């Protein structure tokens, strides 16, 4: 199980490096997020492409028992593309259309990558590993502090791929039941 997660994270990381020719292993930013199917609160690090058109984040998410019925620990890899960018003369950048794809691994006994052999193959879906998508916007402010080059705030509407599939197949599921709002911040080094 650990091998799958490590392979996934390394693959996402090197895909981003290859695609954007980003050869520095030092993270470009720290990120913190509230909600959005990757934890009640999540924190991690990430990399920004040289052209500032995409980011890749690696996050640890935590759901406390009061919010999820039990403690949940998650690891997430997320790639975000910025389709549109506006720059101001005052150091602000506005990104009105950010599209993200993430893969999440939930750790713990209740989560399964494979079910025991007593269950028919593919009868149950894996519960430990899932993917999702989001659409959002962000605003970034450049600054001249010694250790911090910029701040960014973002908001996203998030869903999971499985939820989209069920929504498409089942008319009784409301759109509001498959989405979550997420709010976050990045501090660039």
Is residue 5 classed as helix, strand or coil in its secondary structure? Answer: helix
Is residue 101 classed as helix, strand or coil in its secondary structure? Answer: strand
| Whole-number Å distance between alpha carbons of 156 and 35 | 10
What is the predicted pLDDT for the residue at 8? 58
- As beta bridge partners, residue 26 has none
What is the predicted pLDDT for the residue at 134? 96
- Which residues neighbour 175 within 8 Å (Cβ) at sequence distance 6 or greater? 167
In total, how many domains does the chain have?
A: 1
Judge contact between 132 and 158, C-beta under 8 A.
yes
Beta strands in 88-128 (DSSP E): 92-107
| Whole-number Å distance between alpha carbons of 84 and 167 | 28
What is the predicted pLDDT for the residue at 49? 85
Judge contact between 185 and 152, C-beta under 8 A.
yes
What is the predicted pLDDT for the residue at 6? 60
- As beta bridge partners, residue 131 has 103
| Owner of token pair 């500032």 | 52
Per residue of the chain (189 residues), give pLDDT as tens.
555 556 656 665 555 554 555 455 789 999 999 999 999 999 999 999 878 889 999 999 999 989 888 899 999 999 999 989 999 988 899 999 999 999 999 988 788 777 777 877 767 777 788 899 999 999 999 998 888 999 999 999 999 998 998 898 898 999 999 999 999 999 999
What is the predicted pLDDT for the residue at 56? 94
| Cα 118 → chain centroid | 34
- As beta bridge partners, residue 65 has none
Exposed e or buried b per residue across 20-40, where buried means at least 16 C-beta atoms within 10 angstroms of its C-beta:
bebeeeebbbbbebebbbbbb
- pTM assigned to the model: 0.80
The first and second tokens of residue 85, run together, are 């960018």
Task: Mark residue 39 as left, alpha or beta (left: phi above 0; alpha: psi -120 to 50; beta: remaining).
Answer: left
Judge contact between 56 and 28, C-beta under 8 A.
no
The first and second tokens of residue 154, run together, are 């973002």
What is the predicted pLDDT for the residue at 23? 53
Give the range of the structural domain holding residue 82, as residue numbers without chain letter: 2-188
Q: Which CATH number covers residue 15?
A: 2.40.160
């Amino acid at each position: 199980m650990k091998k799958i997660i490590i392979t996934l994270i390394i693959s996402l990381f090197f895909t981003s490096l290859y695609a954007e020719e980003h050869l520095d292993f030092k993270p470009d930013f720290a990120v913190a997020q509230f909600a959005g199917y990757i934890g009640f609160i999540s924190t991690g690090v990430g990399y920004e492409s040289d052209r500032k058109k995409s980011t890749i984040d690696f996050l640890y998410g935590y759901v406390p028992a009061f919010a999820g019925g039990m403690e949940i620990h998650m690891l997430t890899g997320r790639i975000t593309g910025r389709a549109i960018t506006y720059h101001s003369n005052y150091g602000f950048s506005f990104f009105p259309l950010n599209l993200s794809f993430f893969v999440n691994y939930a750790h713990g006994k209740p989560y399964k990558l494979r079910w025991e052999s007593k269950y028919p193959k593919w009868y149950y879906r894996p519960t430990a590993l899932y993917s999702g998508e989001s659409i959002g916007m962000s605003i970034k402010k450049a600054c001249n502090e010694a250790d911090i080059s910029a701040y960014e705030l973002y908001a996203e509407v998030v869903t999971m791929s499985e939820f989209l599939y069920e929504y498409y197949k089942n008319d009784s599921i409301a759109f509001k039941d498959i989405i979550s709002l997420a709010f976050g911040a990045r501090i660039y080094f």
